[in-house]
């Protein structure tokens, strides 16, 4: 506590926001793994388990669209704390007797968790914009990359945490432990975050949830296809393929995917250095275009290896590593660009709209992943992924090539 007291106000707020985001992310990753493993042990198929998360993604779209408007009205401190509270309630819903854990009940709990996750993420990403001066774009890039990268790395740790807790203390005790831990974080956050954080001086109308900035609309469209390209083969098709076609056991599948997410998050955190943009320059639309084009090659090469049955397991694993590396850089660049483009007055509106597109991409990818794999196989999922990335790259052609001061009201691109 003395260490926090000696820091500047903005740094202190950034650390509190990051701590909240970390705590939430750990429970989010652990909860997903707990639900997957527990319901698999009850006899659910991989596709049926994936469908348990359908409302999680649907309500993520809705929350991001409305959450930005809500944050501008009541402040980002309140939307972040509401998100933490909703996650505690979602966890508590899974503490009911086993006979109550029906598909509908679990989907409802996941829907509430989806609302909580996107309120928390929107609040954290928006708040950084308000804590960094407009002329410190390099610092903004590093802070956004650090927050985004650490979040994804901790989500992977959460996968391990969920599996470990399930083995050590069981489903109900693991859920209770996480709910109690998050309750302590929520109570600390209530008294620590600034009350006026992100609260707009003039209250935006509800119609303002749709961005009027051309740059943000273009970036949001690219983001939707980017995340659809990942989830169209990663959410359902890949784990099922590893299990059924390569004969991996479920511990190996879960552990490998957890390590992939941790590595993905680590790369995001180092993106400013990897792209050599940490000092005197900062990313623009040209970076988003070039990195998307580089990414598009990877799923196409894996699909060709599957088509010709050429060292499939080796190509798939190496391809996954390269895909994760390039995707992490693409994602970190997008995360910086949205915070940079966002209007400081009512920043949560722009960030919320952008993450609505992100959630829409995940939703489309999740549904397509199950359907395409079941009807066409993994190769088709990879071809669709390639097409989505190429579309994201083409959309990125229209992003500003040099970020200076974006005229958001006029919507210049």
Q: Model pTM?
A: 0.76
Give yes or no for residue 225 having a pLDDT over 80. Answer: yes
Highest mean pLDDT among 168-177, 223-232, 398-407: 223-232
Q: How confident is the model at residue 195 (pLDDT cuts 50, 70, 90)?
A: low
Q: How confident is the model at residue 409 (pLDDT cuts 50, 70, 90)?
A: very low
Give yes or no for residue 411 having a pLDDT over 90. Answer: no
Q: Lowest-pLDDT range, 123-132, 148-157, 184-193? A: 123-132
Contacts made by residues 247-253, CB under 8 angstroms, sequence distance 24+: 250/37, 250/40, 251/163
C-beta of residue 64 within 8 angstroms of C-beta of residue 224: no
Q: How confident is the model at residue 100 (pLDDT cuts 50, 70, 90)?
A: confident
Highest mean pLDDT among 84-88, 275-279, 405-409: 84-88
In this predicted model, which residue has the larger pLDDT, 27 or 208?
27
- Could you give the angle at the alpha carbon of 200 between the alpha carbons of 70 and 141, nearest 5°? 90
In this predicted model, which residue has the larger pLDDT, 198 or 197?
197
Mean pLDDT value across residues 217-229: 94
Highest mean pLDDT among 218-227, 338-347, 354-363: 218-227
Domains along the sequence of the chain with CATH? 2-396 (1.20.1250.20)
Q: How far, in Å, CA of 380 to CA of 230, rounded? A: 13
Q: How far, in Å, CA of 73 to CA of 80, rounded? A: 13
Q: How confident is the model at residue 231 (pLDDT cuts 50, 70, 90)?
A: very high
Q: What is the pLDDT of residue 290?
A: 93
Give yes or no for residue 71 having a pLDDT over 80. Answer: no
Mean pLDDT value across residues 313-317: 94
C-beta of residue 269 within 8 angstroms of C-beta of residue 300: no
Q: What is the pLDDT of residue 344?
A: 58
Give yes or no for residue 91 having a pLDDT over 60. Answer: yes
Q: How far, in Å, CA of 391 to CA of 288, rounded? A: 12
């Amino acid at each position: 506590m003395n260490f926090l007291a000696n820091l500047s106000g903005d740094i202190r707020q950034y650390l509190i926001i990051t701590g909240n985001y970390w705590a939430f992310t750990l429970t989010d990753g652990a909860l997903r793994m707990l639900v997957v493993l527990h319901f698999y042990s009850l006899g659910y198929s991989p596709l049926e388990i994936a469908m348990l998360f359908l409302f999680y993604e649907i309500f993520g779209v809705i929350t991001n669209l409305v959450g930005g408007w809500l944050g501008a009205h009541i402040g980002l401190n309140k939307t972040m704390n509401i998100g933490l509270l909703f996650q505690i309630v979602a966890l508590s819903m899974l503490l009911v007797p086993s006979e109550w854990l029906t598909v509908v009940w679990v989907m409802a709990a996941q829907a509430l968790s989806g609302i909580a996750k996107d309120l928390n993420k929107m609040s954290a990403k928006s708040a950084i914009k308000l804590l960094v001066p407009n002329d410190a774009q390099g610092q903004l890039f590093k802070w956004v990359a650090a927050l985004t990268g650490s979040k994804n790395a901790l989500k992977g740790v959460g996968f391990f945490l969920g599996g470990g807790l399930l083995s050590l203390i069981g489903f109900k005790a693991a859920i209770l432990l996480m709910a109690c831990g998050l309750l302590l974080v929520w109570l600390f956050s209530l008294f620590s975050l600034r009350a006026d954080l992100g609260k707009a001086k003039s209250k935006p109308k509800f119609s303002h949830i749709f961005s009027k900035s051309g740059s943000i609309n273009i970036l949001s469209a690219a983001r939707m296809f980017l995340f659809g390209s990942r989830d169209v083969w990663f959410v359902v098709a890949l784990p099922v393929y590893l299990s059924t076609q390569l004969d991996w056991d479920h511990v190996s599948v879960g552990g490998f995917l957890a390590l992939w997410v941790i590595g993905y998050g680590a790369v995001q955190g180092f993106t400013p250095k990897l792209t050599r943009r940490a000092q005197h320059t900062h990313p623009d639309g040209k970076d988003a275009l070039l990195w998307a084009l580089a990414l598009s090659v990877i799923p196409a090469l894996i699909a060709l290896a599957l088509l010709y049955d050429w060292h499939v397991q080796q190509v798939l694993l190496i391809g996954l590593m390269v895909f994760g590396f390039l995707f992490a850089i693409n994602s970190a660049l997008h995360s910086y660009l949205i915070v940079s483009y966002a209007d400081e007055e009512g920043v949560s509106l722009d960030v919320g709209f952008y993450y609505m597109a992100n959630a829409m991409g995940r939703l489309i990818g999740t549904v397509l992943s199950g359907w395409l794999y079941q009807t066409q196989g993994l190769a088709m999922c990879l071809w669709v992924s390639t097409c989505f990335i190429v579309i994201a790259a083409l959309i990125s052609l229209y992003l500003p090539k040099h970020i200076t001061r974006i005229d958001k009201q006029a919507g210049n691109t």
